[in-house]
Chain A
Amino acid sequence: GAVVSQHPSRVICKSGTSVKIECRSLDFQATTMFWYRQFPKQSLMLMATSNEGSKATYEQGVEKDKFLINHASLTLSTLTVTSAHPEDSSFYICSASNTFNYGYTFGSGTRLTVV
């Protein structure tokens, strides 16, 4: 089946620094990657949709200059949280579209804590 590897699983960073989260599709080509954010006891909120080789499409209210998304290849997409602040602390999850599971495979998530 389709597998998406997401790293790191947990990261703690200081306020003002940047953090990069990687998602790799291991056995299929991910033409589209979705990036979600989930706050405690909340649902997954779509942040942006990225297609390989083109600019990401951000949801309303998501700052594209703060959450940099790169999808340079069919197997790798990255999300960089720039100048992180404590309010950016959240659970970030990627999801790659494919032909398995009716179209979506999720990464294992990254717990970001900004101190």
Chain B
Amino acid sequence: GQNIDQPTEMTATEGAIVQINCTYQTSGFNGLFWYQQHAGEAPTFLSYNVLDGLEEKGRFSSFLSRSKGYSYLLLKELQMKDSASYLCAVREAYSGAGSYQLTFGKGTKLSVIP
């Protein structure tokens, strides 16, 4: 099984930088994903880390430390449209059920204020 923790809510100012942390415990790690989810919509893919280090993609960056069971999502130059929930999800090693399953954290609701 897995245990994934991330803060419930965060507030940040437009134009600023915000870091959303995620810690996890898993018996077999096979990658960590970050998704953005607006209310009432499906998640959209933001980033994927499987090796330690920083992955940068435009205004979004994601970091992973496998030894610490820790990841963060960094959002720069915040915009009002970035107000959403951000989900950390961990993929375990092959489960035998046909494919690799994702287990999601409870999500961090980010509010961007003027």
Task: Give me the interface of A with B, judged by CB distance under 8 Å.
Answer: 6, 31-32, 34, 36, 42-46, 49-51, 54, 57, 91, 93, 95, 97, 101-104, 106-109, 111
B112: interface (CB < 8 Å): no
Q: Report the separation of the CA atoms of residues A11 and B21 in the bound assembly, to the nearest whole angstrom.
A: 35
Known: A43-B107, A44-B87, A91-B40. A31 touches B99 (CB 8 A): yes
- Cβ-defined partner of B100 (8 Å) among A44, A51, A97, A109: A97
- Using C-beta atoms within 8 Å of the partner chain, give the interface range for chain B: 20 to 34
Looking at chain A's contact residues, the main secondary structure is: strand
Instruction: Return the chain A residue nearest B44 by Cβ.
Output: A106
Jot down 17 A-B pairs with beta carbons below 8 A, ordered by A.
Answer: A31-B98, A32-B98, A36-B104, A42-B106, A43-B105, A44-B43, A51-B97, A51-B99, A54-B98, A91-B40, A93-B43, A101-B48, A104-B45, A106-B44, A107-B42, A108-B41, A108-B42
